[in-house]
Amino acid sequence: MTTHFKPFNTLFLESQSILEPKGKVITRRLSDMAELYQDQKSAQSLMDENPLVYEVFNVEVPESIEHIQHCITVLYPGKVGEEFFMTKGHYHEILNRAEIYFCFKGEGKLVMQTQDGDYEELDMKPGTISYVPPNWAHRTVNTGEEPFVFFAAYPGDAGHNYGDIEKIGFRKVIVNESGEVKTVDNPRYQLS
Ligand code: S6P
Ligand code: ZN
């Protein structure tokens, strides 16, 4: 008889924005990603405090194509200089693996980019379901004053490629300009 992977539930504890069981937790502080922000002087001045930027609660399933990885990200509010807190951003290691996001709480943007430099961004608020098609790098940005909390699901074998975004960056950055959320050109963006 074949041994089947057993079905199971995970509970999203909405009031605390955590999963039960917590699964594999990834914690990103400013020191894990300071070089990604535009204003390096402000990044350095926050380094003593080293704020928590985001946490990812990953349900543990095998990393193979038959399975669907799923997780909750809690992206905290804050800014480095005028640039809003954001995730590192990545392509999937297997580039053509898509992803679905569903926003539970807060507000933010999902910024996306292809390897030949196409750029798109979508607004997310509670109830928004966003589709990241195959081949698009993706990053989320918290443009609000509350934690921005979303669920993600993607093919089990997708993997994560952070290096390309670390090197090249996204074409645009999301900043606070006199109290308004603005998308501006990234002067450090370099399409090789
Ligand atoms: C995974 C999915 C999300 C992110 C998470 C953190 O494919 O896109 O769960 O991993 O939002 O972002 P990042 O860029 O640090 O992985
Ligand atoms: Zn992804």
The encoded tokens of residue 142 equal 């918290």
User: Is residue 99 within 6 Å of ligand 1 at its C-beta?
Assistant: yes
CA 52 to chain CA centroid, Å, is 14
Q: Per-domain residue ranges for the chain?
A: 12-185
Output the pTM of the full model: 0.97
Q: What angle do CA 106, 92, 98 make, to 5 degrees?
A: 70
pLDDT of residue 190: 81
Of the candidates 144, 145, 103, 149, the residue with the CA atom closest to the CA atom of residue 126: 103
Q: Match 């933010």 to its residue by tokens.
A: 108
Which of 90, 97, 122, 131 best tests ligand 1's pocket when mutated (most atoms within 8 Å of CB)? 90
The per-residue pLDDT for range 145-164, each reduced to its tens digit, is: 999 999 999 999 999 999 99
pLDDT of residue 47: 97
- Looking at ligand 1, which atom is closest to the CA of residue 160? 7
What residue ranges of the chain have pLDDT lower than 70? 191-192
User: Is residue 73 within 6 Å of ligand 1 at its C-beta?
Assistant: yes
User: Is residue 56 within 6 Å of ligand 1 at its C-beta?
Assistant: yes
Among the four given CATH numbers 2.60.120.10, 3.10.20.30, 2.70.170.10, 2.60.40.3470, the one describing domain 12-185: 2.60.120.10
**What CA–CA distance (Å, rounded) separates 124 from 59?**
23
Q: Which residue's C-alpha comes closest to atom 11 of ligand 1?
A: 73
User: Is residue 160 within 6 Å of ligand 1 at its C-beta?
Assistant: yes
- Looking at ligand 1, which atom is closest to the CA of residue 73? 11
